[in-house]
Every structure is written in structure tokens, then in C-alpha cells.
Amino acid sequence: MRIGGPVGQLYTPESTPQVIELLREHGDDEDPLLVMGGGSNLVVGDIGWHGAVVKMASTELEIDGELVTAAAGVEWDQLVLTTLAEGLSGLEALSGIPGSVGGTPVQNVGAYGTLTSELLDSLSVYDRETGLLERWTPDRCGFGSHRQSVFKHSDRWVVVDVTYRLGRGAQSKPIEYALLAEKLGIDVGGTAAPADVRETVLELRRSRRMVLDPADHDTWSVGSFFINPVLDEVPTRAAACPSYPDVKGVKLSAAWLIHNAGFPPGYGLDWGNGLVGLSSRHALAVTNRGGATTSDVMKFAAHIRDGVEACFDIRLGPECDLINCSY
């Protein structure tokens, strides 16, 4: 989002042993530690972070048959490109997503009918409480409910590397997302060439301003700022909202709630100081229109949250990570 204050010390370890060494050296009360990947899902307060920041830059990548193991610092879209070049399919619908490999299990990143947890074989996790590096299987990660995992909003565990089990062949995994299938000219459940799926996904993401472009303020965001709420019971006033089953209840569309509470895409340019607004293409994306501070973003996010709550009795929480800031 191009906001946030300074850091005390910045480290960019380029190998897994360097990552482990730094994790063991920092992280007490006098020397707090923040671990980050690409920063695409991070919002930091104007005061910044006075301790150490470890920005994952490890780039180890290994392909063994259908198993692909990538260090946490590998750029996600570069991994997608590499797997396609190696004749592997499975990640093509996740093309164009910013950030690094280590962040994908945290968010259980998903798009266009594909979730990373569906393809996850195992991962290496460093436990900052015990000082141990462990190999986890997906069942330990707490996936299930929308965009949730044991890693989210917790600083205990650090994902060091991830192994995905992909497929080999000239066809993608079955396309279950209706709009993507339509754009590809196939039926839902059909397949296509993985390269065609990638290009179609990138086209769809560009149309929603969800591919990074430094010249386009609609992309100065963390993607979806608000998470789709999962509720035990849908309030009467939100009965018309699109809903989906979830292991913890019913998932509602945050974008629909925001739009129908009076905040359509592009809202905000006439609100406050005009430095923060919703993307012109995507009601879930809070964007920096140039020169905004974190305080500006928090005030605007609170304005949207309060408006949705007043209209639908639903309080929206953040999908992004908020560091030294809140709304």
C-alpha cells in the first residue's frame, strides 16, 4: 500500500539456514521480531516497527517428479511460471497473485476455484516457542474455514518452505469456477492447456486491477482488505446477501455487503482528505490514492466497517495483517 513507518533493523536472509539463525537470534521483549514475505498482505502503522524485520529472500527451489519444494522467499508467480515450464499443472489458476511462497499457507491462498491447501503436500515450520524446525502435514495447519490457518494472526510459527504435489500432462486441473470456464470456452469441470488458463486468469485479474501496476492507484492495495464474514446465523437484514457453506457456519460476501451498504467501487474520493478510496473495480480493495498515511487508511476502513454494521448488523474484520495499527 506504500504506507507505514520505519523499521529498526532489516534482514533479508537468502537461504534457509540464514533464516533459522536470525529467528533464533531475535524476538525477545527488547528486540521484537517481525517476519514478512513479499509484504503484499501487510499494513504497518505510521510509527513503523522499532525491532528487527526479517524479510524472507530465500530462493531454494527443487522439483522431484510431481513434488515441488520452494523456500518461503520464492516469489509466488515465479513458482507458477516455473512449474508450467516444467510441464506441471495445478497452480495455473493462482497466476498473478503477489507475494511469496511462505505466505500461501498462512492465508490458504485461493483464486478461481483453486486453493493452495488442496495441492499442499507438506511444509517446514519453525516454532519460535520451542526453537524447533518441524515438518508438518496439511492436517496440522488448521485449514477449513474461509482463509483461515493456525499461522494467521499468530507470530509463533514461521513457514520456512512449502512442498506442493502437482500433476503432469498437457491439461489443467478441472476448472470449477464458472467465469473462468466461460472465458476459456469450456464447460465447468472441463480442462484446458495450463498456459491458456494462466493467461485467462491474468486477463481477469487485470480487469479487476488485481495485477500490480505502479502507475495504477487501484493496485496500491493489499487486495481484499476485509475478510468474508463467517457467521453462525445470518442477520435478517443481510438475508439477500450471497452465502456459501463453511465448516464454521455460513460465509457471506463482504464485497456485496460493502457495496449494498452504500460503498460501491470507487467510493471515497470525496470522503475525508480523498487520499484513500475503494478500488474503481473491486469494492473489497482499500487503496492508497497517493500520499495517504496508515492513519488515513484506518479511518477509512473504520468508516466502511461502521457503515456495513449499521446497515446489516455485521462487523467486518481485516483479511490483511495489521501491524501497530487498528481500525
- The domain locations on the chain are 7-55, 61-207, 217-323
Write down the CATH number for the domain with range 61-207: 3.30.465.10
Cell numbers placing 116 = 493452495
pLDDT of amino acid 212: 81
The whole-angstrom separation of Cα 48 and Cα 22 is 20
User: Is 34 in contact with 55 (CB distance < 8 Å)?
Assistant: no
User: Is 195 in contact with 172 (CB distance < 8 Å)?
Assistant: no
pLDDT tens, residue by residue, 298-313: 999 999 999 999 999 9
For 15, other C-beta atoms within 10 Å of its C-beta total 14
Closest CA to 304 of 263, 254, 252, 264: 263
Q: How far is CA 207 from CA 26, 39, 98, 210, 282, in A?
A: 42, 23, 16, 8, 10
User: Is 34 in contact with 56 (CB distance < 8 Å)?
Assistant: no
For 277, other C-beta atoms within 10 Å of its C-beta total 24
Strands (E), the chain: 7-11, 33-36, 42-44, 49-55, 61-64, 67-71, 88-89, 110-111, 114-115, 120-127, 132-136, 157-165, 167-168, 230-231, 243-246, 249-252, 276-278, 286-288, 321-323
User: Is 299 in contact with 277 (CB distance < 8 Å)?
Assistant: no
Which residues does the chain have with pLDDT short of 50? none
Q: What's at 95, amino acid-wise?
A: S
The verdict on domain 217-323 having CATH code 3.90.78.10 is yes
Catalytic residue numbers?
147, 224, 319
